[in-house]
Amino acid sequence: GESVGLHLPTLSVQEGDNSIINCAYSNSASDYFIWYKQESGKGPQFIIDIRSNMDKRQGQRVTVLLNKTVKHLSLQIAATQPGDSAVYFCAETHYTGNQFYFGTGTSLTVIP
Amino acid sequence: DAMVIQNPRYQVTQFGKPVTLSCSQTLNHNVMYWYQQKSSQAPKLLFHYYDKDFNNEADTPDNFQSRRPNTSFCFLDIRSPGLGDAAMYLCATSSGTGDYEQYFGPGTRLTVT
């Protein structure tokens, strides 16, 4: 499979602060990236995606940045809330296939 | 609501005793996936179906098999479970028609005794 990794396995932030979660990928042919949130005992939940023809995409309180030059993407969560505590995964795929490969994951803990 | 359903949510099997996990979807999606997720690890893709076309990952052990009898259902068969197969097994779907978003089921937690 493809190699998609995260820089930081754990992250603790104060409630109200912004969070940044990073991910590195190895396949330069990947053209679609997704961030997932996974709460304990549940399946991954889609947060936001980005295609390789973009370098930034914003959602509600979340922003994904893609740097194809260094094969890096990040997830920014604004005004982090206790409900944001979860494990966050990035995943990547290529439009010619249907395989999705997940990165290592970062456990985000929000301190009230 | 349209969704991905996995049964059972918790499954206990004995070492070496075949076990089948099931997944169904009401999304009418072309693609169905099975992932294995061990504790504190990322989901690992085992295989996927695009319609009836089966696509196995190169490093998926032969002990894992899958069946997709129709669009709605997909099964994961573990022929001889070992202790190392204890994990959460996640089923997911995607439309396969340009929208790459995956929809995950809640998972089946498999325990091997």
pLDDT tens for chain B, residues 1 to 113: 669 999 899 999 999 999 999 999 999 999 999 999 998 889 999 999 999 999 999 899 999 999 999 999 999 999 999 999 999 999 999 988 877 788 999 999 999 99
B89 → chain A, closest CA residue: A43
Find the residue in A nearest to B60 (Cα): A1
What pLDDT score does B45 carry?
93
pLDDT at A6: 43
Average pLDDT over residues A76-94: 95
Distance between the two ends of chain A, CA-based, in angstroms?
Answer: 38
- Interchain proximity A98–B48, CB inside 8 Å: yes
Least confidently predicted of A1-10, A90-99, B88-97, B100-109: A1-10
User: Where does residue B109 rank: exposed (0-12), middle (13-18), buried (19+ CB within 10 A)?
Assistant: middle
**Residue A45: its chain B contacts at CB < 8 A?**
104
Cβ–Cβ below 8 Å for A44 and B43: yes
The number of C-alpha atoms within 13 Å of B1 and in the hemisphere containing its C-beta is: 4
Q: What is the mean pLDDT of chain A?
A: 89
Q: Using a CB-CB distance cutoff of 8 angstroms, which residues of chain A are in contact with residue B35? A: 102
With bands split at pLDDT 50, 70 and 90, how would you rate the model's confidence at A7? Answer: very low
Task: Determine contact: B81 vs chain A, CB below 8 A.
Answer: no
Q: Distance (Å) from the C-alpha of residue A43 to the closest C-alpha of chain B?
A: 5
B63 within 8 A of B70, measured Cβ to Cβ: no
Asked whether the beta carbons of residue A102 and residue B96 sit closer than 8 angstroms, the reply is no
User: Are A49 and B101 a contacting pair at CB < 8 A?
Assistant: yes
How far off is chain B from A105, nearest CA to CA, in Å? 6
pLDDT given at position A4: 57
Contact predicate B17/B105, CB 8 Å:
no
pLDDT per residue as tens digits for the range A29-84: 888 999 999 998 899 999 999 999 999 999 999 999 999 999 999 999 999 999 99
SS3 B17: coil
What count of Cα atoms within 13 Å lies in the side-chain half-sphere of residue B83?
1
Is B31 within 8 Å of A98 when comparing Cβ atoms?
yes
Report CA torsion sign: A14, A112, B88, A42: negative
| Cβ-Cβ contacts under 8 Å, B44 against chain A | 1, 102
Pick among B44, B100, B108, B109 to test the A interface (most A CBs inside 10 A): B100
Q: Tell me the CA distances in angstroms from A32 to A53, B31, B87, one per residue in order.
A: 9, 17, 27
Distance in angstroms (rounded) separating the CA atoms of residues A73 and A55? 9
